[in-house]
Amino acid sequence: MITEAPKKSIVVLGNGISGITTARLLRKQTEESLTVISEETPYFFSRTALMYVYMGHLQFEHTQPYEADFWKKNKIDLVQKRVIQLDAEKQQLVFEDQSTLHYDRLVLACGSVPNRFGWPGQDLDAVQGLYHKKDLDSLEKWSDTIEEATVVGGGLIGIELVEMLHSRGKKVHFFVRESSFWNTVLPPEESEMINQHILAHGIDLQLETQLGSIEGDASGRVCAVRTSFGNFYRSQFVGLAVGVSPNVDFLKGSGLELGKGILVNRYLETNLPNVYAVGDCAEQREPHPGRRAIEAVWYTGRMMGETLAQTLAGNKTAYQPGPWFNSAKFFDIEYQTYGQVSNAPDAKKEDQFYWQHPLKNCALRLSFHPKTLQLLGGHSLGIRLRHAFFDEWIRKRSSVNEVVKRIDTAFFDPEFSENYSSQIQNAWELKKSKIAFRL
């Protein structure tokens, strides 16, 4: 009697963009048993769309790009449980209920957890971040009883929380540690533009302000906050948006080599055989030039998933992220960034051209080498530009002269985004004359 050998099993821990991209693309190339585990929700959803659910623009089911039967049709098993341990010797995961799941190959795509820094009162009710679906549910639960709220942290999640609460008519205190909003990333002009835009929406923006403590009422819910200087603000909700860290605590003692995240090589392999890591939890041992070791960004997570799917299907492929790209929104000001744009450039290594609309919240900044004029990067505020054009210009090391000459090609249809190419080109001519004089 001939019996078939059991199928090899691939287990993906995490159903965010990196884990699901790996599983979905891998299924197109292999018949191996494939299981995706998540404790958060049974189905993949767009995490970046959570704010729009709260603001009433979407229903939660609209954030799920695949129908519920997609997974069964594609023979991808879904498990909604919490993993508490990796037993690498037995090649199995241990769940909170002490049941186990064997794997032949394991993809760790376990994401991030919000940072907390030991503030008094940080565990009170109605004190939270905005990362998981349960955070959205919790915020919705408290919303009707919030009159004033405090958001701590001047980054992208922080301003999302501010906009969400503002959309429901809440008075929002916004604590930003730095002297200007996101000035660790944005140059002074853009940072000040966003400061003024936040204030124009009626937000109580408090720069150079740090959280000191969170105070609770008799029921255990937050009722106020104090700054590190002792200033008092009433608040029935506190949003902690002070960054995230890789979700790796449950992996300690497993034999995996950990830094801040799970250490991986260019092929996204860990030190353990048949164990890989992708997305927010992965830390590159040798980061690509100009890139960070950990990049908790949607599009890099997707690219890691695409890369690893190739390797797991037998076509070993190195992770090559290419030029940096990210996008965000500050209320109604869209932001896109490409390549290298320093907030405080070294004049020997980087020069910049900046154009800002005299009346509107629109700006473009191009970064280039001061001698060769090679484009290093660019970012825009209030202007919608095509990613593919900037990606090509940076990869081909195009001259900033050529980029400005062709900048109109990077604009979207004027129906969706006004074209400012002529104004930008005129401003560049003035900048170019100063460069010629200097050279």
pLDDT digits (tens, 9 = 90+) for 69-98: 999 999 999 999 999 999 999 999 999 999
Q: Would 319 be classed as within a structural domain?
A: no
Residues 100 and 21 in one domain: yes
Instruction: Dump pLDDT digits (tens) for 237-274.
Output: 999 999 999 999 999 999 999 999 999 999 999 999 99
Residue range 17-31: mean pLDDT, rounded: 95
Q: For 131-157, b where at least 16 C-beta lie within 10 A, e where not — what string? A: bbeebbebbeebbeebebbbbbbbbbb
Instruction: Dump pLDDT digits (tens) for 158-191.
Output: 999 999 999 999 999 999 999 999 999 999 999 9
Residues 20 and 88 in one domain: yes
Residues 136 and 183 in one domain: yes
Residues 252 and 231 in one domain: no
Residues 190 and 270 in one domain: no
Confidence category of residue 5, pLDDT binned at 50, 70, 90: very low
**Are residues 312 and 11 in contact, defined by beta-carbon separation less than 8 angstroms?**
no
Residues 147 and 134 in one domain: yes
pLDDT over 90 for what percent of the chain? 91
Residues 89 and 31 in one domain: yes
Query: Is the model's pLDDT at 434 over the cut of 80?
Result: no
The H-assigned helical ranges of 13-107 are: 17-27, 50-54, 70-73
Residues 42 and 69 in one domain: yes
Confidence category of residue 109, pLDDT binned at 50, 70, 90: very high
Task: State the average pLDDT for the chain.
Answer: 94
Q: What CATH number should be reported for the domain holding residue 415?
A: 3.30.390.30
Query: Is the model's pLDDT at 2 over the cut of 50?
Result: no
Instruction: Dump pLDDT digits (tens) for 350-398.
Output: 999 999 999 999 999 999 999 999 999 999 999 999 999 999 999 999 9
Q: Would 390 be classed as within a structural domain?
A: yes
Q: Would 120 be classed as within a structural domain?
A: no
Last residue within a domain, chosen from 190, 213, 242: 242
d(CA 394, CA 376) in angstroms, rounded, equals 6
Q: Would 96 be classed as within a structural domain?
A: yes
Residues 236 and 132 in one domain: yes
Residues 233 and 250 in one domain: no
Contacts of 29 (CB under 8 A, 6+ apart): 309, 313, 314
Confidence category of residue 1, pLDDT binned at 50, 70, 90: very low
d(CA 130, CA 149) in angstroms, rounded, equals 14
Check residue 3 and give its pLDDT. 42
Instruction: Dump pLDDT digits (tens) for 48-71.
Output: 899 999 999 999 999 999 999 999
Domain range spanning residue 205?
Answer: 127-242
Instruction: Dump pLDDT digits (tens) for 308-347.
Output: 999 999 999 999 999 999 999 999 999 999 999 999 999 9
**Are residues 47 and 307 in contact, defined by beta-carbon separation less than 8 angstroms?**
no
Q: Which tokens go with 163?
A: 């906009």
Residue range 141-156: mean pLDDT, rounded: 96
Check residue 436 and give its pLDDT. 62
Q: Would 322 be classed as within a structural domain?
A: no
Check residue 438 and give its pLDDT. 54
Residues 238 and 134 in one domain: yes
Domain count, the chain: 3
Last residue within a domain, chosen from 242, 262, 297: 242
Neighbours of 93 (CB within 10 A): 24
Check residue 294 and give its pLDDT. 96
Q: Would 102 be classed as within a structural domain?
A: yes
Check residue 414 and give its pLDDT. 74
pTM over 0.75: yes
Burial classification of residue 90, based on how many CB atoms lie within 10 Å of its CB (0-12 exposed, 13-18 middle, 19 or more buried): exposed
d(CA 13, CA 15) in angstroms, rounded, equals 7
Last residue within a domain, chosen from 242, 269, 284: 242
**Are residues 228 and 212 in contact, defined by beta-carbon separation less than 8 angstroms?**
yes
Q: Would 76 be classed as within a structural domain?
A: yes
Q: Would 320 be classed as within a structural domain?
A: no
Q: What CATH number should be reported for the domain holding residue 238?
A: 3.50.50.60
Check residue 378 and give its pLDDT. 97
Residues 94 and 132 in one domain: no
